[in-house]
Amino acid sequence: MDSEMRGGFRVGVDIGGTFTDVSIVDGAGQVHATKSPSMPSDPAKGVVAALGRAASELGLTLQLLLSRTDLFVHGSTIATNTLLERTGSVVGLLGTEGFRDTIEIRRGWRDNPWDHRTPWPDPIVPRHRRLSVVERMDAEGNAVIPLDPASVRRALDRMRSYGVESVAVCLLHSYRNSDHEQRCRDIISEHAPELWVTLSSELAPVVGEYERASTSVINAYVAPRVVPYLNGLERELRAMGLRALLVVQSNGGVVSVAQIARHPVAMLLSGPAAAAGALSHFQAEAGTDHLISLEVGGTSCDVMMVNAGEIGMTDLLDIERLRVSVPSVEITTVSAGGGSIASVDDGGLLCVGPRGAGSNPGPACYERGGMHPTVTDAQLLLGRLRPGAQGGGAIMLNRWLAEEAIRKQIAEPLGLQPFEAAVGIIRLAEQTMLHAVENVSIEKGLDPQRFTLVAGGGAGALHASSIARLARCQNVFIPRLAGILCAFGMCNTDLRCDLQRSIPIALEQQHRGILDGLTVRLIAQAAALLEAEGFGPERRRFLTQWHLRYFGQQSSIPITVSDDEPIAAIIERFEAEHRRMFGHTQPDGRHQVVSIKVSGFGLLARLQSQALKFAGRSVADPEERREIWVDAEHDWRDVPVFKGSALAPHRLLDGPAIVEESTTTILVGARDRLRVTSGGNYIIELQ
């Protein structure tokens, strides 16, 4: 990786379920946005096609664009889709004798503790491919039973007979001593060198057999699909002049293809997590560091939070009821995208989602043969979207097709007029979005009244005012590039690596040396990874967190720790956080460190708000007037429709009104006032 940015292009490419988004920031600070239909059958071809379209719009060849690119970041859903669609490799699991069923036993937790009938999803590795090896470590990392190499070779022979392509190794207590797992890898390299290998002690060295086993299995499952895709895409782009391809991880940071190839499971939230970079950039212009993003795309709605400038993070993901122990931006995803399908169930109730129309055929209004009514069809029927060509001609919106689909499948079964059915679809989708906002705020002990709602995605700005009012947020911030929020965020992020080690030990002064020693070792390992990526000491930053709990608790709370901070101060902050999250503390409780985590950042030059330029923004009258359904109180109104590119900074608009941008459409409610910021973005003040 180049040690300095050279003032050329920054490119972010985000593959979504419907569109592939491209954000390009040139050396003068001007931002260019392109949307191109995704190609799920060949994602790499879709990326190249989207880049070719973006280059053409800039008057460049693709080769010239790539050769002049200093930062190229890619967010891909390939790992997520591989897991959700169950199209990964044939995986085998090596476990300690007597513990091969860990991933099926789980922990007994359920999202709804009263629902004990819903079956669990089938495990990634069926029982006949989960094989035991003779060995045993105790909880202190001492070898009680030595590893028997013959048992490993026998297991490998059986796996080969089952057609296994990739092996996950998860042995008991290997987070304390990885020697037996390392020796298993050596044996696999000699006995079955064609197999992909994942070691739990390298991937997720934390307490919890189920979490380690599940994470290792999922990594082994997606690796043979994800890694060749990334390597092939990088080779293809390099042949056309690109210097380096970086990939977004679930933690919101970027990393090289060579690094992510070791743990592709860290890409499960690759695309949505990139919004963290955009939220960081827009804090100053939004006038607050308390933000909740509502990104409504074609297939889903993703919600995340920035509290006092810190993005919400988690170390445990739940993907389709499978647990993955990887550091990640905390994102709540619900099935409420523009392509979410509306239907009437057997009980005569209206439903929206979880099925989606995808990009092909897409919503009924797309003129691609789609038959199902969606949220997009409802917005079009209510006049909020402009019929005709959208996205530079990438799609067509046909109002008649939208009305027919809603009339036949929703309105007639419910005895409603088509517009009434469309209103119901919007309201139900917005209730789902509201629950997601409450999940990241109220359920975490945070009052949404302190937060500004940031609208992202192609459809976010159509729903943002309504959601913000229901959640009682302060106001709404809408980036001009809302439709490519994640792709833009990729142009404003840092390289990141996360290292974590379990060390169950009492939080007492006598153990301070042990805790500090492990912290120093983790920082040194993170520094070595950053050095390998080309980041010298002056371009590194480290964040240390101790995961703390009371003795006897199952879950822990991460507390950021600074150098030489007194133990008493750390305990005080832990108890304050515990009180905020759970409403109480344990006055006589003893405190325990569960693990230590170090995050290393390779600092890339950040985009400056004042440097971003948006050309051609002069004061102008409305381009047209259009009849839209505003809300239940104001019903249908004839409202002005503005082109965003014609609105000057500091312009004020009173609702109801529509503002059309290149990647999104903004609905200004009847009691709202829209203000254009100095940076060309928008703030909606809720009256």
Cβ(166)–Cβ(224) below 8 Å: yes
What pLDDT is recorded for position 1?
41
Confidence class for position 481, pLDDT limits 50, 70, 90? confident
Q: What is the mean pLDDT of residues 28-36?
A: 84
Average pLDDT score over the chain:
90
Confidence class for position 620, pLDDT limits 50, 70, 90? low
Closest among 221, 251, 220 to 326, alpha carbons compared: 251
What pLDDT is recorded for position 616?
42
Q: Please enumerate in sequence order all residues whose Cβ is within 8 A of that of 20, keeping only pairs 6 or more positions apart, or say none.
A: 13, 14, 35, 36, 37, 38, 39, 46, 47, 49, 50
- How far is residue 361's CA from residue 357's CA, in Å, rounded to a whole number? 7
User: CA torsion, points 277, 280, 286, 287, in degrees to nearest 10?
Assistant: 180
Q: What is the mean pLDDT of residues 23-52?
A: 86
Q: What are phi and psi of 411, to 5 degrees?
A: -65, -50
Q: Which residue has the higher pLDDT, 577 or 112?
A: 577
What pLDDT is recorded for position 323?
87
Q: Please enumerate in sequence order all residues whose Cβ is within 8 A of that of 87, keeping only pairs 6 or more positions apart, or say none.
A: 81, 225
- How far is residue 249's CA from residue 324's CA, in Å, rounded to a whole number? 14
pLDDT tens digits, one per residue of 66-81: 999 999 999 987 888 8
Q: Hey, is 355 helix, strand or coil?
A: strand
Closest among 133, 472, 447 to 307, alpha carbons compared: 447
pLDDT tens digits, one per residue of 249-283: 999 999 999 999 999 999 998 888 999 999 999 99
Cβ(308)–Cβ(279) below 8 Å: no
- How far is residue 583's CA from residue 656's CA, in Å, rounded to a whole number? 42
- How far is residue 333's CA from residue 335's CA, in Å, rounded to a whole number? 7
Work out the percent of the chain whose per-residue pLDDT is above 90.
69
What pLDDT is recorded for position 183?
97
pLDDT tens digits, one per residue of 424-449: 999 999 999 999 999 999 988 889 99
What pLDDT is recorded for position 613?
53
β-strands 310-311, 301-307 pairing: antiparallel
Cβ(183)–Cβ(204) below 8 Å: no
What pLDDT is recorded for position 443?
87
What pLDDT is recorded for position 611?
45
What pLDDT is recorded for position 7?
45
- How far is residue 461's CA from residue 483's CA, in Å, rounded to a whole number? 9
Confidence class for position 36, pLDDT limits 50, 70, 90? confident
Helix extents (H) in 241-396: 257-260, 270-273, 275-286, 375-381
- How far is residue 187's CA from residue 93's CA, in Å, rounded to a whole number? 15
Q: What is the mean pLDDT of residues 564-574?
A: 93
Cβ(177)–Cβ(205) below 8 Å: no
pLDDT tens digits, one per residue of 305-346: 999 998 988 888 888 788 899 999 999 888 888 889 999 998
- How far is residue 529's CA from residue 334's CA, in Å, rounded to a whole number? 35
Confidence class for position 392, pLDDT limits 50, 70, 90? low
**Residue keyed to tokens 């910021």:** 677
